[in-house]
Amino acid sequence: MERKEKDNASSANSSGDESSRKRERDRSSPRDKDTKEGIHLLLNIPAGVSRESVHSDQSNGSSNNENLPERRQSRRKRPRVEYKEMDDKLANLSEDEYFSEEEKMSKQPPPPPPPVPEPPKPVEEEEVESEPEEPTVGLDGAAFSARLPADKMTSQEAACFPDIVQSPPQTQKLFLYIRNRLLQLWYENPKVQLTFENALPLIEAPYNSDGPLVMRVHTYLERHGYVNFGIYKRLKPLPAKKFGKVLVIGAGISGLAAARQLQTFGMDVTVLESRDRVGGRVATFRKGSYVADLGAMVVTGLGGNPLTIISKQVNMELHKIKQKCPLYESNGNTSGLSVLVPKEKDEMVEREFNRLLEATSFLSHQMDFNYMQTKPVSLGQALELVIKLQEKQVKEQKCRHVRKIIEMQEDMKSFQNKLIGLKDSILMLQKQYKEANEVKTPRDVTSEFVVKAKQRDLQQAVKDYEELKDKLKDLEGKVTELENNPPSDVYLSSRDRQILDWHFANLEFANATPLSTLSLKHWDQDDDFEFSGHHLTVRNGYSCVPVALSEGLDIKLYTAVRQIRYSHSGVEVVTANTKSQGGNYTYKADAVLVTLPLGVLKQSPPAVTFVPPLPDWKMAAIQRLGFGNLNKVVLCFDRIFWDQTVNLFGHVGSTTASRGELFLFWNLYRAPVLIALVAGEAAQIMENVSDDVIVGRTLAVLKGIFGNNAVPQPKETVVTRWRADPWSRGSYSYVAAGSSGNDYDLLAIPVTPAPVVPGAMPQPNNLPRVFFAGEHTIRNYPATVHGALLSGLREAGRIADQFLGPPYAVPRQTPPVAHQ
d(CA 566, CA 9): 28
Helices (DSSP H) in 114-161: which residue ranges?
139-145, 155-160
| pLDDT level of residue 445 (50, 70, 90 thresholds) | confident
Per DSSP, the residues of 293-349 read: ESS--EEE-SBT-THHHHHHHTT--EEEPP-B--EEEE---TT--EEEPPHHHHHHH
pLDDT over 60 (residue 21): no
- Quick one: pLDDT at residue 449? 85
Q: Give pTM, 2 decimals.
A: 0.82
d(CA 10, CA 629): 9
In terms of average pLDDT, the best of 11-25, 331-345, 386-400 is 386-400
What's the average model confidence in pLDDT over 228-243? 94
d(CA 365, CA 375): 17
Burial class (CB in 10 A: 0-12, 13-18, 19+), 2: middle
Is the CB of residue 146 less than 8 Å from the CB of residue 183? Answer: yes
What's the average model confidence in pLDDT over 540-563? 97
d(CA 790, CA 7): 14
Is the CB of residue 24 less than 8 Å from the CB of residue 40? Answer: no
| pLDDT level of residue 29 (50, 70, 90 thresholds) | very low
d(CA 179, CA 28): 31
Residue 291: φ, ψ to 5°: -135, 135
pLDDT-above-70 percentage for the chain: 81
- Write out pLDDT tens, residues 241-253: 899 999 999 999 9
Task: Tell me the pLDDT of the chain averaged across its residues.
Answer: 85
Residue 681: φ, ψ to 5°: -60, -35
- CA end-to-end span of the chain: 85
Distances (CA, A) of 726 to 271, 593, 776: 18, 20, 17
- Quick one: pLDDT at residue 816? 52
Determine how many CB atoms are found less than 10 A away from the CB of residue 553: 18
- Quick one: pLDDT at residue 334? 57
| pLDDT level of residue 436 (50, 70, 90 thresholds) | confident
Per DSSP, the residues of 461-507 read: HHHHHHHHHHHHHHHHHHHHHHHHSPPPSSSS-HHHHHHHHHHHHHH
- Quick one: pLDDT at residue 674? 98
- Write out pLDDT tens, residues 78-118: 333 444 444 343 333 333 443 444 444 444 444 444 444 44
- Write out pLDDT tens, residues 705-727: 999 999 999 999 999 999 999 99
Helices (H) and strands (E) counted in the chain, each on its own, are 23, 25
d(CA 59, CA 74): 23
- Write out pLDDT tens, residues 152-174: 999 999 999 999 999 999 999 99
d(CA 227, CA 217): 11
Per-residue b or e along 323-334, where b marks 16 or more CB atoms closer than 10 Å to that residue's CB: bbbbbbbbeeee
| pLDDT level of residue 332 (50, 70, 90 thresholds) | low
d(CA 498, CA 732): 27
d(CA 798, CA 331): 58
Sign of CA dihedral 245, 246, 251, 252: negative
Per-residue b or e along 760-774, where b marks 16 or more CB atoms closer than 10 Å to that residue's CB: eeeeeeeebbbbbbb
| pLDDT level of residue 76 (50, 70, 90 thresholds) | very low
Tell me the one-letter amino acid at 242.
K
Tell me the one-letter amino acid at 237.
P
Residue 139: φ, ψ to 5°: -65, -50
| pLDDT level of residue 14 (50, 70, 90 thresholds) | very low
Which residue did the predictor score with more confidence, 666 or 483?
Answer: 666
Residue 726: φ, ψ to 5°: -65, -20
Which residue did the predictor score with more confidence, 241 or 62?
Answer: 241
C-alpha neighbours within 13 Å on the C-beta side of residue 10? 35
Is the CB of residue 258 less than 8 Å from the CB of residue 237? Answer: no
- Quick one: pLDDT at residue 333? 63
- Quick one: pLDDT at residue 720? 98
Which residue did the predictor score with more confidence, 779 or 34?
Answer: 779
- Write out pLDDT tens, residues 496-547: 999 999 999 999 999 999 999 999 999 999 999 999 999 999 999 999 999 9
| pLDDT level of residue 335 (50, 70, 90 thresholds) | low
- Quick one: pLDDT at residue 358? 96
